[in-house]
């Protein structure tokens, strides 16, 4: 985003704010409160590998800090929220708008899925003609959009703002820990929704490689490719570890692969 703003000549007059989080996973209950933030932190810290490291490494983007930063933005500053059509960014949009609910000045929103169309020469064009997430938008696309469409970035109506704020309050009452974006709607699903897909994938990789055990890193990489809704390697690893704990997968430690993120392999339990 920062590089894209630089390309549009706006870097030094702009500040980029982002949540260091993934709102499609983990509790959202009362997240606008310190109690809810602590609840989410504890849940993720207990389940997600290296969560604490990344949490403390990016303190200015933590939820509690971002909450204070957003609510302190004065009305003389312009705000544009960028997002895509996926659960994480749509939830983040609603959370941010709730935190900005007392703002009287306009708030612009750019949904890159609706606004940016990839060039046919783009390597990602065949995967999706339109980017589903900010993570797969090139800085040059952002710069081009801002340069060519700056005057077309319209502010949300107060009606839409109130609707998104209400959406957030409803999300904040939910107990779910896994959410998908389906038919322009946030769908709450069981946290084990992808377990069978992971088991099927592991069986497929075992057959393809003609081997007993499959390295966990390979499983995660393949799953990220096939499960387009779930863009979290750490949540997928958590589910693999749960399948091990449930006795549905056998586990083989691979300490010799100390330089790799996943130092173990698994196979289907006979």
Q: What is the 3-state secondary structure (H, E, C) of 46-94?
A: HHCCCHHHHHHHCHHHCHHHHHHHHHCCCCCCCEEEEECCCHHHHHHHH
Shared-domain flag, residues 179 and 74: yes
51 pLDDT tier (thresholds 50, 70, 90): confident
Using the predicted structure, report yes or no on whether residue 79 has a pLDDT greater than 60. yes
Shared-domain flag, residues 78 and 172: yes
Shared-domain flag, residues 15 and 111: yes
What separation in angstroms does the CA of 222 have from each of 189, 192, 197, 198?
Answer: 22, 18, 11, 10
Given 157, 186, 215, the domain boundary residue is: 186
Shared-domain flag, residues 166 and 225: no
Given 186, 218, 240, the domain boundary residue is: 186
Domain count, the chain: 2
CA dist 4 and 137 (Å) reads: 10
Supply 79's token pair: 């705000």
Shared-domain flag, residues 117 and 155: yes
**pLDDT, greater one: 137 or 4:** 137
Is residue 134 within 8 A of residue 83, CB to CB? The reply is yes
Q: Which residues 6+ apart lie within 8 Å of 143 measured at CB?
A: 3, 4, 5, 6, 7, 8
Mean pLDDT taken over the chain:
88
Shared-domain flag, residues 34 and 132: yes
Shared-domain flag, residues 94 and 60: yes
Structural element, H or E, at residue 180: strand 179-181
Shared-domain flag, residues 20 and 90: yes
Using the predicted structure, report yes or no on whether residue 260 has a pLDDT greater than 70. no
What is the chain's percent helix, strand, coil content, to nearest 5?
A: 50, 10, 40
What separation in angstroms does the CA of 2 have from each of 13, 142, 158?
Answer: 11, 9, 28
CA dist 26 and 42 (Å) reads: 10
Q: Which residues 6+ apart lie within 8 Å of 236 measured at CB?
A: 194, 198, 219, 220, 223, 224, 227, 230
Shared-domain flag, residues 148 and 52: yes
- The per-residue pLDDT for range 145-204, each reduced to its tens digit, is 778 877 668 899 999 999 999 999 999 999 999 999 999 999 999 999 999 999 999 999
Shared-domain flag, residues 212 and 248: yes
29 pLDDT tier (thresholds 50, 70, 90): very high
Domain residues for the domain of 166 are 2-186
């Amino acid at each position: 985003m920062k590089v894209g703003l630089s390309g549009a000549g706006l870097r030094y007059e702009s500040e980029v704010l982002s949540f260091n989080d993934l709102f499609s996973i983990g509790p959202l209950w009362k997240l606008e409160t310190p109690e809810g933030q602590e609840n989410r932190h504890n849940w993720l810290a207990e389940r997600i590998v290296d969560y604490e490291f990344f949490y403390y490494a990016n303190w200015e983007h933590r939820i509690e800090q971002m909450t204070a930063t957003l609510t302190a933005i004065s009305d003389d500053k312009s705000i544009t929220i960028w997002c895509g059509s996926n659960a994480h960014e749509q939830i983040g949009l609603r959370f941010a708008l709730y935190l900005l609910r007392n703002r009287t000045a306009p708030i612009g929103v750019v949904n890159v899925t609706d606004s940016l169309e990839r060039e046919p020469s783009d390597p990602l064009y065949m995967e999706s003609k339109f980017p589903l997430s900010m993570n797969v938008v090139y800085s040059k696309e952002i710069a081009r959009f801002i340069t060519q469409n700056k005057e077309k970035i319209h502010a949300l109506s107060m009606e839409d703002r109130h609707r998104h704020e209400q959406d957030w309050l409803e999300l904040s009452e939910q107990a779910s820990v896994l959410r998908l974006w389906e038919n322009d709607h946030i769908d709450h699903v069981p946290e084990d929704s992808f377990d069978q897909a992971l088991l099927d994938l592991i069986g497929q990789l075992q057959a393809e490689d003609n081997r007993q055990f499959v390295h966990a890193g390979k499983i995660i990489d393949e799953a990220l490719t096939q499960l387009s809704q779930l863009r979290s390697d750490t949540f997928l690893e958590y589910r693999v570890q749960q399948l091990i704990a449930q006795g549905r997968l056998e586990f083989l430690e691979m300490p010799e692969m100390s330089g790799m993120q996943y130092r173990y392999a698994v196979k289907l339990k006979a």
